[in-house]
A and B are shown apart, each in its own frame.
Chain A
Amino acid sequence: MTSHPTDSIAVLDDLPPADRASVEAHISGCQDCRQTLAAYRAQDAALVRLPRTQAPQPIRSDVWAAIRSERSARPRRRALWPPLSLAAGVLLLAGSFLFPSPQNFPKAVASGLPSLRRYVANSSRLGPYSGTGLVTSWAVPPSRALSSSDPYAPGRTLSVHWSLRDLYHYRLDVTTLSPALYSGTITYVRNGQSLLVYDRRTEVAATGHVQRFQTFTQRGAWITGTAAQFLALLAPGTFGIGSAVSNYLATIRADGADLHPPSYTRLVEHTTVIGRRADVVEYGPLTRVDYISGCSFTKAGPCIHDPHGVGSARIWIDERSPLALRYAIDFPGPVSTFPGHRRYRVTSLRTGAGPSRQDLAYRPPVKILHVLSVQGGATSSGNIITIPAGFVGVAAPDSPIEKALPLTDATVSRGSPDGRPIALDVLFYQGPSFRTRGAVPTGPFVYVQEQTQVHGLPAGLRVGNTQRIGNCTVYPGIDAAGRKTAAFQIHAVSLLITTNAMSADQVLRYLKASYCRGARQ
C-alpha cells in the first residue's frame, strides 16, 4: 500500500462525504494523486464512449406481450382500461381511439404515458376551479401584412379569467390586453348544454345549444381554442391541447410506435408551476404549412402547400387535475416559413371556486340572438350566425354539401397559415333535419360563407353597387345559377350569403335583422 489513497481515488465519487473531503484535501496537495484521478476520469470517459449494444426494440413489446398473455390466462380477468366515460357523444365516438382496449393497450406505450394516463383518467372529473391565464404572441406569416386592429395580429396578448365548475359548467372572460385598439372582452358561459357568447366590445350576444362535447371546434375562433387550452378539453380536433393529446395518443396507439420522428411525444420533466406540480409533455415535430407565394384571398385555388418548418410544443399538465397550466409552441424554422410561437400561461389557480349560479345564469344587457351551434364553434367576435325563421341550420365544415351545391366561390380561399380556420360555412335550409354528412338538401336554403382574417371584403366579392344596410355596406347580386347573393363585412369578418329561398329584398331584410343592425340602431 502506498501512502497515496489510490483505492479511494478510484471510487472517489462514491465515498461518504467526510471521507471524500479528506481524500480531496490530499489530492489537492499531491501531484501524483491528481494524475491518478485525471487518469481515472479519462478512463471513465473512454468507457462511456465505448459503443454499447442497444437493446432491440422487441424487448419492450415482448415483455408486454408476455404480461398480456399471463393476464389473459388469469381466471378472473379484469379490463385494464375499461371504457371511461367522458359523458359526451363526440368523445364516445372517439372512445375507441382514446381508450384502447385492454388487449392492445400496452402494445406501444410511449414514455410519458403515466402522466397522460392520469390526465385522461381524471379529465371527466374536473372539479371547481377559477383562475386567470395569459395568452401571448401569436405569430403570423410575414407575407400577410396585418393591421393593428386585426384580431390575429402578432404580439397579441389576451388574458383569460375562468371559473370552472366542471367541463360542462363554466364561465370564461377573455380580454384583449394588446393591441389596445382591439381591446374588449368576450364572455363564454356554458351551463350544461347551453352556451352563451357575449362580445362586450360590439355588444353582440349569442346563445346556442351545445349538442356535442366539442364546444370549441377548429372552426371556432382561436380565442375559443385558447379557452379550451385552459379548460383542457380533450375533444380530439379541438384546437390546442385536444389535438395535442390526440396526437399523443395516436403516437402511442400506432403499432410499434417509437418516439422518433415523424411523431414523438415524451414526458420531459416534472416541475412546479404556480405552486402546483406539473408534468411537462413535449410533442412534435410540428409541421408548419407554408403559403405559396402569390396565393391570396382573392386568388382561386388552394393556398396551403409545402409543409415546412419543424417545431415542437410543450404542455404543462397539472399532476392532480387535467388542467393545462402552460402551453408553448415554437417553430424555429427557416425565415421563409413563419417562425412563431405562442404561449399560454395560467397565472393563478384556485380550487373550490367554480362559477356561481349568477355567473351561469348570466345574461348580457343586449338582445341575445339565437346562434347555431350544432357542431359548436361558429362564434367569434363579429361572427354571429342566425337561423332564418323556418330554417334548420347545419354547420357545414368541409362538407360535401358545399361541393354538392355549386356555391364554391373562387374568391374564397381556405386554410390559415397556422392551422387555424379562417372560413366558416353554414347552411340553413327548409325541411327536415338531417344529420348525415353528405346529404344534400333539395329545397330552399340559405348558405353562409364566412371568412375571418380579411382586410376588407375580397375584391372578387365587391361587384356591383353597394347598399347601406344598418352598419354594413352590402354588395347584393345574383349568381350564375340565379341565386341571390349578398357580400359584406363585419369587423374582420367577410361574409357571403347565397340563397335560393329569398328575394333580394328579403335577403337585405334578413341581413338587417341578423347581421347588420348596428350596435346603436
Chain B
Amino acid sequence: MTIRAVPRRTPKAAELDADIELERLMAAYSNALYAFAVQLTDDHDASADCVQHAFIAAYDRLRRGKSVSRAWLYRVTRNAGIDCLRHKRKTAPHDSKFASAESAPTDTSSETVRMRASLEAMAPEDREVLFLFAVDKLRADEIGQILGIRREAVWMRVSRARKRLRILLGEQE
C-alpha cells in the first residue's frame, strides 16, 4: 500500500479542551455531586438531572474558555436541586427521608444505623455543610461560595453541626 496524504483539519481547540476538561470533571465529581444532590433532594432521578445540568452548564462555560471550579459545580448542582425541590413542593408533598431505603445499601451495622438516625435528626443546613466539609473535603471558602455565605460562617456551621452530631450520637451531653 502506498503512502498518501490525507487533508487534515485541526480540531476546534476550545471544543477539544472543553471535552477533555469536562471528562476530567465528570470522572472526579460525578459521584460526589450525585450524593450531594440526593442528600438535598432525596430523589434519585432528580439528582441525576441536577448533576447532568451542572455538567452541561460546565461544558458550555468551558467552551467559552472559562474555568470551572469544584465549588462552581456544587453551586450549580445545589441551585438545580433547590429548583427541583421547589417544583416538587408545588406538585407533591415532600417525603422526608434521609438517604431513602431504596438507595441505602444493605449496610445495617449499628454504627451506620445510629449515624443515619442522628444525621436525619440534624438541621438540613448543618448536615449539608458537615458533609461538604467532612466528607467531600471542601474548604470553607469553597463551601462559602456554594452557599453564598462567608468563610467564618461556614466554620461556625461546621462547628455547630459537629457539636450537634456528638450530642445526637450520645457522645456528649
- Are B20 and A117 in touch, CB under 8 angstroms? yes
| A7 contacts partner chain B, Cβ-Cβ < 8 Å | yes
CB-defined contacts of B104 to chain A, threshold 8 Å: 51
Which of the segments A52-60, A291-299, A397-405 contacts the partner chain?
A52-60
B 33-49 contacts with A by CB, 8 A: 33-35, 38, 44, 47-48
One of A10, A55, A83 near B34 (C-beta < 8 A): A55
- B11 interface contact, C-beta 8 A: yes
Contact B5 A85 (CB under 8 A): yes
Report the bound CA distance from A88 to B5 in whole Å.
Answer: 8
Q: Complex: how many Å from CA A67 to CA B51?
A: 14
CB neighbours (8 Å) of B22 from chain A are 63, 67
Bound-complex Cα distance A259 to B132 (A): 27
Q: Which of A37-45, A143-151, A335-343, A456-464 lies at the interface with chain B?
A: A37-45
Complex Cα–Cα for A8 and B152 (A): 10
A87-98 CB mask vs B (1 if < 8 Å, else 0) is: 111101000000
Residue A30 at the B interface, CB < 8 A? no
Taking the complex as formed, is B4 at the interface, i.e. its CB lies under 8 A from any CB of chain A? yes
Known: A10-B162, A59-B51, A62-B52. A51 touches B1 (CB 8 A): no
A48 touches B5 (CB 8 A): no
Are B35 and A79 touching (Cβ within 8 A)?
no
Chain B residues whose C-beta falls within 8 Å of the C-beta of A194 in the assembled complex? none
A7-B159, A14-B133 known; A59-B11 Cβ under 8 A: no
Any chain A CB within 8 A of the CB of B115?
yes
Q: Are A109 and B23 in contact (CB under 8 A)?
A: yes
Query: Could you tell me which residues of chain A, from 62 to 99, have a CB within 8 Å of some CB in chain B?
Result: 62-63, 66-67, 70, 78-85, 87-90, 92
Partner of B6, one of A47, A56, A85, A114: A85
Which residue of A is nearest B47, CB measured? A53
| One of A11, A53, A117 near B35 (C-beta < 8 A) | A53
* Chain A interface, number of residues (Cβ within 8 angstroms): 54
Q: Tell me which of A39, A70, A87, A213 contacts B5 (CB under 8 A).
A: A87
Q: In chain B, what residue has the closest Cβ to A55?
A: B34
CB pair B2–A89 under 8 Å, yes or no, is: yes
Bound-state Cα–Cα, A83 to B9, Å: 8
A78 neighbours in B (Cβ, 8 Å)? 12, 15
Q: How far, in whole Å, are A121 and B13 apart by their CA atoms in the complex?
A: 12
Is A114 a contact of B24 with CB atoms below 8 Å? Answer: yes
Question: Are the C-beta atoms of B27 and A11 separated by less than 8 Å?
Answer: no
Minimum CB–CB distance from B38 to chain A (whole Å) comes to 5
Instruction: Provide the bound-state CA to CA distance between A66 and B56, in Å.
Output: 8
Chain B contributes a number of interface residues (CB within 8 A of A) equal to 63
- B39: shortest Cβ distance to chain A, in Å? 9
Q: Which of A321-350 contact B (CB under 8 A)?
A: none
Residue A355 CB within 8 A of the other chain: no
Determine whether B74 belongs to the interface, using a CB cutoff of 8 Å to chain A. Answer: no
| Alpha-carbon distance between A53 and B1 when the two chains are bound, in angstroms | 53
Contact A114 B162 (CB under 8 A): no
A50 and B163 alpha carbons, distance in the complex (Å): 19
B residues contacting A by CB (< 8 A) are 1-12, 15-16, 19-20, 22-24, 26-27, 30-31, 33-35, 38, 44, 47-48, 51-52, 55-56, 59, 99, 103-105, 107, 111-112, 115-116, 130-131, 133-135, 139-140, 154-156, 158-159, 162-163, 165-166, 169, 171-172
A-B contact pairs, 28 of them (CB 8 A): A7-B156, A10-B158, A11-B140, A11-B154, A14-B140, A39-B172, A43-B162, A44-B134, A44-B135, A47-B135, A48-B134, A48-B135, A50-B116, A51-B105, A52-B31, A53-B99, A55-B30, A55-B31, A63-B22, A70-B56, A80-B11, A84-B6, A89-B1, A89-B2, A89-B3, A111-B24, A114-B20, A114-B23
- A→B interface (CB under 8 Å): 6-8, 10-11, 14, 39-40, 43-44, 46-56, 58-60, 62-63, 66-67, 70, 78-85, 87-90, 92, 106, 109, 111, 113-114, 117, 121, 168, 193, 211-213
